[in-house]
Structure 1
Amino acid sequence: MTVIYLVIAALLVPIMASSSAETEHQKRRFHGVQKNGNQCACTVRFAEWEFPVERFKEVQDLSQNCSSSLNERLSELDNSYVSVLNLQLYDKHNLLNMKNRLKKIKNRLESFSVYGNVKIGNCSGGMLRNVTRPLIAQLNPYGSSYAYGAWGMDSMPGSPELYWVMALMSSNIYGNSIRTYSSYKTFLMSNTHVDFIVRSSYTTPNAIQGPGVVLYNGSLYYNCYKSGEMCKFNLNTKNIIHVNLPNAGHSNKFPYCYYDCYGYTDIDFSVDENGIWVIYATEENYGNIVLSKINSNNLAVLQTWKTKLFKKATSNAFMVCGVLYATRFVSKNEEEIFYMFDTVTNQEAKNLNIRLIKFSPNVASLHYNPVDRKLYLFNGGYMLSYGVLFS
């Protein structure tokens, strides 16, 4: 048997090969077998030489499909980016709605905890558990144009019954007088009152700035005009004393805000069973609420507590039994008491979920009275009061 070598040239047109690679690809060597005399028989598999055109076509199609799909995704991203820009520029209402929804979800998640009968504060009543529907709801005596102010009853236990109203007359920021009623009946009828002029003008030193005022033992406590000072106006003697509140932000630096800021609410007075307090914020405490117990006679700061609650994340705050409670906006007709800070234990919680019905979105002032154990709210020009329930 003689072995014959055949050199067969495959006449293929290479597509993506160099000339040397082309030569190597086109030449193959096979062993033949001599049969029937001088005939050479061999098997040649041309498929080994054929370029896989069909497979190349599949890969090419797949590449084109991937490229097309990628371009579509990039186009979608570009369109989404443009949509967000347009939403930010021209549809801020929807952005605000989304922000509102996210805040509500966050608030609901924070409200899942349930407290047992824990002892907090320094009163026997325990923790604030609920608030009634409004017991009193009427327009302030100056009319609906005066949407910012405060009202209530003298908060000193044992003091004569004296209801009062203070409306901010100048730019919803400054005031210079307080109206009083000698009984609950005269307050409801609004037919007999006495006006006290604190200062002759809204724009003089020691005039009233902001709605964070209270009446305690026959004296009005308030933030002095354009300053970080505390003022005390005695209704009987007409004397005013003023004392600096150390490091307190004032004149709209740290007001109550949440959604919308309530102007010039930086320094807010409150009264509970322990006496008179002032609620404010400082740069040193990063804008978080600072709470000070003060001497009602000379306004000296007796003791101070620093919280971790950002003041501009709240709509108002008040004291009950040595416990600070803070509120936040829920809707134009509802407020939530969500936070507490216990000055006895220095413990705080952010999930109280106590709802408060209101008449208007803005909360000008909110404070507690230990005499009748009610909350007093000045809300868009309306005066509301609520009963409080404890655990």
Structure 2
Amino acid sequence: MDPRGRTLAAWLDLVGWPNIVTRTPEQARIDYQILVATTTRRTIGGWSRSTIASSPEGHEVPVRVYWPRRRRIGAPIVVWMHGGGFVIGDLFTADATCRKLANYSSAVVVSVDYRRSPEVPITQSHEDARTAIAWAYRHAAQLGADRRRLIVAGDSAGGNMAAAACCHFRDHAGAGIAGQILIYPATDLTLAHMDHTAASGFFDGAAIEWFGLHSLTGIERTDPTISPLFADSHAGLPPAHIVLGGADPFCPDGRAYARALEAAGNQVLCEEFPRQMHGFVDMDGIFPSGHSALKSIAETVAGVSPVPGGVPTVPDHPIRWYSLAAETERRLDESWLRTPMANTARILSTLAAERWRGPRISPVRALTRSTQSKKHRLALDETSTGHTTDATAVTND
């Protein structure tokens, strides 16, 4: 792994930063905001506004739209789904990446605030993504972009949703997609393609199990609508630009999806950045490769070819933006959260709470302990019925 990644992981361990497996989803969301705010390279310029993306059926999803510093006629439009294992991440953590992508590529970028687990199943996260993509397609002209140059993109869980959306809109009307950008995507939610030995800092097997505990419990993981690697066919999908980190447990997953797309005759550019950990693109303030990856992605976006023909547009009412007062309040709040003063205070508060909290059983360990307790109860039951030898074997196990 990149020495910078090892240093970051060692520093977090040194100061006693809580491991994600000990955190609730609410706590982990705050932790992720702090991580992104302190490791992401800032960019200036451009403009953003917030609104609600809605479907003709009335389904609504909050989105934030970014325009580049230099606007041009016929600009591409990118719909971005943030990462976070379907549990963490939000518009704030995706802000810098979306702003840079807009500025580097001169594209309009729509960031999607989809619903997260465990509050909702991930099938509803995918529904939100599809709603936002179809909305961006219908409103592209109002947003100053060319609907024929629509790209869906995302990192990690967002890459999963982007890939699944391409399969969906290939088979259903609603949007014509010109390209897909998948950054260390999880396309096989059975995790059969995951490398459990990859050196990925704080994003290890236990952390992945924590995300699965909160987002994949009770889910049919081979369902192709959420695991696009299991799609019946990968033919006829948009050109793909796949970005992978060599030290990322999901690197083999991304390679497998790239091979599946290529085998089906699709155009694929698969870039692998050696020794890079999961999340390195968002943390471009630490990892120069993250900045290089964003520049490469921006070149792909800027050069995307229009989809010939496409689905006819459906007339929509004008976009109703959030009020200027609401936007100003949001910008002030987020600007404050990015300052060293605010982040230092949040870090110290978290560390103090962690020190006073004392040891606590993580959800993953609690689940394991519950299983062991069940085995012990079975052993006692067998002992009471005279099966002493079997009971002893179970108890020792």
Normalised TM-score (structure 1): 0.25
Name the structure, 1 or 2, with higher relative contact order (CA <8 Å, separation 6+).
Answer: 2
Structure of larger gyration radius: 1
